[in-house]
């Protein structure tokens, strides 16, 4: 029984580290959530492992499945974050993370609604995802969360590319 409790505690700590990273990646701000009961809303961390394997295949239908799994896990934890009483973490911030995670659950809508973000930020998104996979394999769950959070924000919210200027040839008529 003690062994199972230790495993559960380790799993919850990994989930908390991952979610802290996601929040930092999406909101560009640190929020400590280790010890918050919201991490218990994910049964285990195997969903993330399966999602990483799916994404790493780079085979379109399987990648969609991986994105959906990660979206489900992030949404599951994020829905309970308000109960944690985390200082400076506002409900609107939590809603933003939930909305983004919900979009990942049905990745087909991303191409239609957010295709321009993918077009403009595709290389950065690709590198963030690859870095997230590397961090997962190195068991650095906070960094993994940051990488996936940044990729999620770039894909779904877009972000101005620092190398893209108004003088760009594509903007001229």
Single out the residue of 116, 125, 130 nearest to residue 152, CA to CA.
125
Residue 173: predicted pLDDT: 38
Task: Say what the pTM is.
Answer: 0.69
Residue 7: predicted pLDDT: 38
For 86-140, what is each residue's pLDDT tens digit?
778 888 888 888 888 888 887 766 665 566 777 777 888 889 989 998 998 898 8
The torsion region of residue 164 among left (phi > 0), alpha (psi -120 to 50) and beta comes to beta
In terms of residue numbers, what domain contains 52? 2-161
pLDDT of residue 29 exceeding 70: yes
Distance CA 98, CA 79 (A): 7
pLDDT of residue 162 exceeding 70: no
| Domain-located, residue 93 | yes
Distance CA 165, CA 143 (A): 30
Residue 37: predicted pLDDT: 66
Single out the residue of 10, 11, 18 nearest to residue 148, CA to CA.
18
| Domain-located, residue 167 | no
pLDDT of residue 3 exceeding 60: no
| Domain-located, residue 24 | yes
Instruction: Specify the number of domains making up the chain.
Output: 1
CA atoms within 13 A on the CB side of 22: 26
| Domain-located, residue 102 | yes
| Domain-located, residue 166 | no
Q: Rounded to 5 degrees, what are φ and ψ at 67? A: -60, -40
Residue 131: predicted pLDDT: 93
What is the distance, to the nearest Å, from the Cα of residue 71 to the centroid of all Cα atoms in its chain? 7
152, 100 contact by CB (below 8 A): yes
Residue 143: predicted pLDDT: 92
Residue 42: predicted pLDDT: 57
């Amino acid at each position: 029984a003690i062994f199972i409790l230790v495993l559960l505690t380790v799993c919850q700590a990994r989930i908390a580290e991952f979610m802290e990273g996601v929040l930092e990646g999406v909101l560009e701000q640190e929020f400590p959530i280790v010890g918050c009961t919201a991490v218990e809303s994910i049964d285990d961390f195997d969903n993330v492992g399966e999602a990483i394997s799916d994404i790493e295949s780079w085979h379109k239908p399987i990648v969609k499945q991986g994105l959906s799994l990660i979206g489900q896990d992030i949404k599951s934890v994020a829905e309970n974050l308000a109960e944690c009483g985390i200082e400076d973490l506002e409900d609107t911030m939590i809603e933003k993370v939930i909305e983004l995670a919900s979009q990942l659950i049905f990745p087909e809508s991303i191409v239609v609604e957010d295709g321009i973000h993918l077009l403009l930020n595709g290389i950065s998104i690709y590198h963030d995802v690859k870095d997230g996979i590397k961090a997962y394999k190195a068991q650095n769950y906070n960094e993994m969360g940051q990488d996936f959070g940044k990729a999620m924000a770039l894909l779904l919210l877009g972000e101005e590319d620092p190398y893209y200027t108004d003088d760009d040839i594509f903007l001229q008529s």
